[in-house]
Each structure stands twice: as structure tokens, then as C-alpha cells.
Chains A and B, each alone.
Chain A
Amino acid sequence: MKELVEFIAKSLVDDPEAVSVVECPRDRGTVLELRVAPEDMGKVIGRQGRIAKAIRAVVKAGGTRQGKNYFVEIVD
């Protein structure tokens, strides 16, 4: 799912080189920490968090395939 978050984020931002995703295993699942260039924050969050919400929905669906829980956190 790390690759999926990377792929989506890179396709949305202006500075794909600055995209990074770190996997952090937790008790209830895996947290995927997404970092982008400061100027690109809006591109992965969106108005009222709509883009972030869509990314989470897609990643969550992808996780069910593997029977795992994934949570996307956007870190600034």
C-alpha cells in the first residue's frame, strides 16, 4: 500500500521528487506517513480535506484485499 500512496501523491503534486511515504506498524494496523513539499500540501489535502479523504478511501479498499488496516497520515 506504500507504493499506492506514493503513486497517488506523485500524480497530484507539482514536486513528485519530494514525495515520501514511511510505513509505521501499529497495533491496529499500519500507519502510512505521507510527506510532500510544503507548497504541495494543498494538493494532497484539498478543500475541506476532500483529496485526503479520497486517498484514504482508496488505500483502505486496497488494504482489505490483504486483510490489513491502513491509515494514511499527512505529516507537515
Chain B
Amino acid sequence: MRTVEATGRTIEEALAAALAELEADRSQVEIEILDEGAKGLFGIIGSKQARVRVTRLVTPEDKARKVASWLEEAAGLMGVDVQASWRIEDESILVNLSGEGLGLLIGRRGQTLDALQYLAGMVGNKEGGEWLRVLVDAEGYRERRAESLRSLALRSADKARRNGRRVVLEPMNAHERRIIHLSLQGEEGVSTYSEGVEPYRRVVIAPR
């Protein structure tokens, strides 16, 4: 957030000067009038300049642009050329990366993508303003992963029921475990729970 003070013969003039300096329009700032100014006699004697303090607010769009260009630059330094597109939805910045070599940015089970997403969230929210969640995807990877987790859940549930024995899945992060739990909610004959300590916490599917 940047703040400037400006003066002018009238409040309007002072404000215009401040907006020019901030390269912002009225909808992006908060205005505080420090001195209303006075015309004075014949515009000379006793005239006083108007003074305003104007603060540039960080808008969600500002944050999204920053996050997108940060991701492009970080990827570039990792040796991958990508484009980041974004949209804002429900207080979240949704970024999609596209380009060559996305596999490197995704990493094993999305670990690298999660790390980039976490850092991008810190960078985007650094300058204050309304806190926004940052979600980074690469060409629909997240949805594909969710889909394969759901089918893994169903297959494992079948196995647990058939063998009458519990099935222990590989370690997953909280988000992925949640997908498994949700997809087996209300599924006949099995129940799910998690066991172990992060980062090795894993879902167990047990016959009932």
C-alpha cells in the first residue's frame, strides 16, 4: 500500500495530483482531506493550499497480476517457460499455468505445484489488503488428480469389502485425504479414517 500527500489550489486539484503520482483512479484509493484550503482575499491574501492524503489500495486484481507474473518469473528461473492466466472467484485467486514442461512444475504427486502455490500465496498477500486464497493449477492437473483419487477410493473400498481387511493408502496431504474421505462418505460397508503423523499421514479404508 502506497500513500502520498499532495497540495493544490482546490481539493480537486490536490486529488488529481495525488492520483497522477499513484497512477491510480478514484476507485482504487482512499482519500483523507488534511486541509480544505481557502481562497483568501482577491485570491492572494490569506489564501491557503488544499492538502490531501491519498492511499492506493491493493485490489484483488493487483494481487492476481502480481501472483501471475511472480509464477511466470519463478518458473522461468526453474528453466520452464509458462504463461499464467488468472481469475478471481469467491475470495480466491485461481491461476492456471500453461506451456511446455509443466510436469517439472507439478512434481511428484503435485508437491512442486503445492510449494509454488504456497509461496505465491505469501507473495500475493504480502502488501496487505483483503486476504485472498491463491490456488495454482497446471492445465487441469488438480481436477485430474481429484478424479484419480476418487477412483482409487472406490477401488480400495471394493477391495476392503471383498477381503474383509483394511486397506491403507499411501501418504497424502490434507486436501487429498479429504477427497478420499468425501468420496466414500455414505459408501456401504466401509468406513474411513486417517492415521499417522504428517507428512506421512494416510487414509485407512476399513470394512464395517
Contact = CB atoms under 8 A, between A and B. Distances in A.
Interface of A: 1, 3-4, 7-8, 11-12, 46, 50-51, 53-55, 57-58, 61-62, 64-66
A10 to B, nearest CB: 10
Nearest to A64: B104
Given A12-B126, A51-B119, A55-B119, A61 B73 contact: no
Q: Which label, helix, strand, loop or mixed, suits the secondary structure of the B interface?
A: helix
Interface residues of B, number: 21
Given A11-B70, A12-B126, A61 B119 contact: no
Contacts of B74: 4, 7-8, 58
A57 B115 contact: yes
Given A50-B118, A58-B115, 13 more contacts: A3-B77, A4-B78, A7-B74, A12-B119, A12-B122, A12-B123, A51-B118, A53-B115, A54-B116, A58-B78, A61-B78, A62-B77, A62-B78
Nearest to B66: A11
B115 A7 contact: no
A65 B104 contact: yes
A58 B114 CA distance: 9
Interface in B100-121: 101, 104-105, 107, 111-112, 114-116, 118-119
Interface in B47-65: none
